[in-house]
Structure 1
Amino acid sequence: MAHRFNQTNIVACRGPWAGHISNASNLCGKGWNVCSWKESSMLKQITWNEATTIEGCYAYDASQDGGTCKPCISDHWGSDDLAAVGKSCQHQNLMSKSCIGLGKIDASCCVDSLLRRACTYRPGIASGVLCCKKEAIPSLPQVRVIVDKSNFIIGENILLVCQVSNAKGPLNIAWLKDKTLIKVEEINKNSQSKLSLNKINHHHNGEYTCLATNDDGTSQDSIKIRARGHQGCAAGDNRLPRKYYNISACPGRWKGHIKNGGNLCGDNFQVCSIENVQSLNEISWKDLFFLEGCFSYDATHNSKQCLRCKETAVMAGLGRSCQYKLKPKGCSRHGYLYSKYSKKAKNKCTYNKGSTTGVMCCRIPSKKEVIKGIYCIAYVILLVKMEDTASIGIIYAFANSAIMEMPVNSRTVHKSIMHIKVSGIYRLPS
């Protein structure tokens, strides 16, 4: 019958074994193995009194030569003393250090390696072995969330896949969005779960977390989703061709004055106004003809000048469904294009169901673009002051190219400054 030491996971098991003591685990029960020098912290729980009063001599896989605690090596004379505990063990020394702390006990010692009997069973020397309970090694799931896209464009579909590996036992997989549990149709199939996000918009923005749980615990991995509008529309449904990098036609309704329609525009875009007229004029007649609907912007046509939209005026727009008057003046080179309102309408700068489809959105120039243009202008002006006519043409062309990358509302100001400064000494290209 096995003897268990007080308040420990160590038992003394009787019986012989063949070969090296590390092969004696057959004497231990399921979930137990022969104690060794690796379990020294556990062995130190045995008191000296217990170690010397238990009947018999129970060995374990360790050598305590010279007061150490190391593996028992059968062919090395400095590591061949077979460690043990028990009243019958032949070699006991209270004043020496060992694997159990203060006090050294060996089943056999000294020249066993020379006699080729080190670390082995010998009748009359050992009664059996010490068995230590195996420490359960947690087998936490390893979780990885992968996504089929690197950019999250509004209106597109996204598939999130949670891959789980190294999971033992029953496995449960769950998805959370911003720490709130969400329902998933396909889950826990072949240690993976799929989460489909269809026609994403800003409501899908957030942090998506996959939780995998088994008997040993829970692991997780997360990914952040931020849907971005394509070509300036918050909903990603720009009706203009992609070649118009600075302009977008965004369908939808808004509340109040047209200037409040920015909710339809994407990041770094705003409702176009009189400052963006030249940018709007870049739209070709062909693309304007195929633009279904009437998209408004913050402007009103006037026979003398282009003004911001006022309540009593007619709101300017672009699209084949807009009202049209062919006049040479106005906010657009395309003529008088405007949204249709009844004569009784008190405010003609608002959304009108049936006549307004959405808004025109224009890109807001970044600080980098503005600074780049300013530097280019400054360099051209410097050359003008130096009267370096040979270099002005080259630098002017470069500066003009840099400015042309900017939205037209910023571009116009920069070009005007250059024209004024340069025209005095250099003939500008037409």
Structure 2
Amino acid sequence: FLLSSSSRNLSSSFSRSCRYFLSSSLRTPASSSSCSFLASSSSSLSCCSKGRCRECQEDLEQDDMAGVGQGCAHQYKDHPSCISGGRIDASCCVDSHFHRACHFKPGLISGVVCCRLPVQSPRIVVKPPHRLQVHQRLIFLLSCRASGMPPPRVRWYKNGRRISKADSRISVLYSGDLLITLSRESDTGLYTCEVTNDHGMDIANSYVSVTDNKSGCADGARSPLMHKSVHACQGTWKGHVRNAKSLCGKGWKVCSHRDRKTLRDISSVELFQLPGCYAYNAASRRNSCRRCKSSKMAGVGKSCGWVSYRHTSCLSYGRIDVFAPNMTSSCDYTEGLTTGILCCKKVKRKGGERRKCKPRCQNKGKCIGHNHCQCPQGYKGSHCQNAICTHGCGVKGRCVKPDKCRCQPGYTGKTCRQKARPCVAPCVNGGKCLRGVCRCPAKFWGKTCQYPLQHVLLAQMNRTEK
């Protein structure tokens, strides 16, 4: 511990490790000529009238702030407290009455007793992703939050070189996270987070790949909607919304109800704050996402005719229609209402490729994708190799078939949790040992099934005489 002459205000909590350290280390509490109140780096102590050691609380009239030194207000050698050898108070009874026992008093208190917090080597608690793919002109964040005592220092490196603060796009946040805005292809590389203090070091790596975000529009214009799989393309078309596919680039299509999973990745801010109104081939009927047949064409943007925050649709939040409720709605282009179309990226599918599962699916499992087996009831595993026992087989058994366990020697029962009791002598004549007793067939009896029944014996004798 350390005696400090600083007159800073006390804070609100106390380190328990410091409390027990004081009780074992301060053997002569009145050895100092001045008076210092007891505190850790963040709190103060108090001893109540019953001699208990706890936090200093101003709202209790019986609490007094504890201290160390000859200049303290009260000293009791026979009273228990947070220190050994007696009790010392740095406040007066009047102070506790007016709820100011925990306050600093000039002229009465000389300083504070500071306790060193326990040391801890640094450890990264929240690590960045192992791999991250980002499109150009977007923002990405690499997390690196660590614990340790003293608090560790965080440094970021790219490809082995420490990241410079000269680039205004790159900043290390107070939490230790790395924030990069308006990403470029030159930002591709291996990023390393290093946390250190006087007692150790910990590192975490993340490889970031920045790729060109090519436009999904036929004219190559930049989309105002910043999403990797959904772009907003301006233009007009004739007839039904599905005819607007000419506005989408190669490898893109008009978004429909089948793309609801991709559409729900769009944030609510982009949905309602996107300039204009962009339609897509979907409609909301009875709070469900369906294909646009004749009316209620769905859209995205703040200029659309109808916006509802409580209805559900193909989007992640709310519902947006191109036409207002007081208008005759349709699924066709209407001049002055739509700015363009939403184009979704096509999913690449290799034609003619056979589904392969290696190793093969076992126990009549069905291969439904690349190394993806659909298991029958009662089996599980990557290739349906594990049987399922509903009640388990314990540590002394193994599930070999659905709800059937194979027990180790010396154990029995449906779940292999019962110890087997062997019979004193082996069972004969077809008898079976169950729980230490031979169970005999119908024609024999005895402890080991060694005696045939009398009528069976007589029948065998008569047969011999004939």
TM-score normalised by L of structure 1: 0.33
Q: Flag the structure with larger Rg.
A: 1
Which one scores higher on RCO, CA 8 angstroms, separation ≥ 6?
1
TM-score normalised by L of structure 2: 0.31
Higher helix proportion (structure 1 or 2): 1
Higher strand proportion (structure 1 or 2): 2
